[in-house]
A = this chain, B = another copy of it.
Amino acid sequence: MARWQPRASERLMVAALDLFEERGYEDTTVIDIAERAGLTKSTFFRHFPDKREVLFGGDSMTGLVTEAIAAAPAGATPLEAVANALHAVGTESFTSARRDFVTRRWAVISANPELREREALKGLGLTAAMAGALERRGVAELTACVAAELGALAWKIAYQRWSDPTNADGFSQLACQALDEVQAASASC
């Protein structure tokens, strides 16, 4: 019988990141990752379907953003609801304590075509989830899609600024600012 492993998924993710940095993604096996985390291969596969997935940590981000969009005030515009989601990412996931981990993870992903592909598909899924959450607030389908795309772009811009260690601002603040800039830019297209 499998023993319950506290925070196994996070331990596997940290071990994988260390190993991908040390010896490269291609030269790291699932068994290496499980061993480094002090866990078994079968524990790995209870948490992740394949090696590619280990840096993506399930779909916790999707739940975070869709709940934050749902929780935005009733009178919020679509982009205000999206801002609420980006704020939640800043307070729950892209915190200052996790900046080092998040930027290391991104560096590993950027360097590997397989991981970049997985990341690209995850990004599409996250944007679609934001659009769906907006629609459930009564936003028209196309407006919801556009707001989600603008939010995804603001997210990317804020992420780039936040991952720069010379930048002292928090992700929430940077994302809010980027969303304003994106909205202004959309008016001059």
Contact = CB atoms under 8 A, between A and B. Distances in A.
Interface stretch (A31-39, A66-74, A92-100, A143-151): A143-151
Contacts of A142: 157, 181-182, 185
Interface in A148-168: 149-150, 152-153, 157
Given A120-B120, A153-B146, A189 B183 contact: yes
Interface in A77-97: 77-79
Contacts of A150: 146, 149, 186, 189
A111 interface: no
The contact size tier of chain A is: 20 to 34
Tell me what chain A mostly uses at the interface: helix, strand, loop, or mixed.
helix
A189 B123 contact: no
Identical subunits present: 2
Nearest to A141: B185
Contact of A78 (B143, B152, B189): B189
Nearest to A78: B189
B145 A153 contact: yes
A140 interface: yes
A118 interface: yes
Contacts of A107: none
Contacts of A152: 149
Contacts of A120: 117, 120-121, 123-124
Interface string A111-138: 0010011101101100000000000000
20 contacts: A77-B189, A78-B189, A117-B118, A117-B121, A120-B120, A120-B123, A120-B124, A140-B185, A142-B181, A143-B188, A145-B153, A145-B185, A146-B150, A146-B153, A146-B182, A146-B189, A149-B149, A149-B153, A150-B189, A187-B187
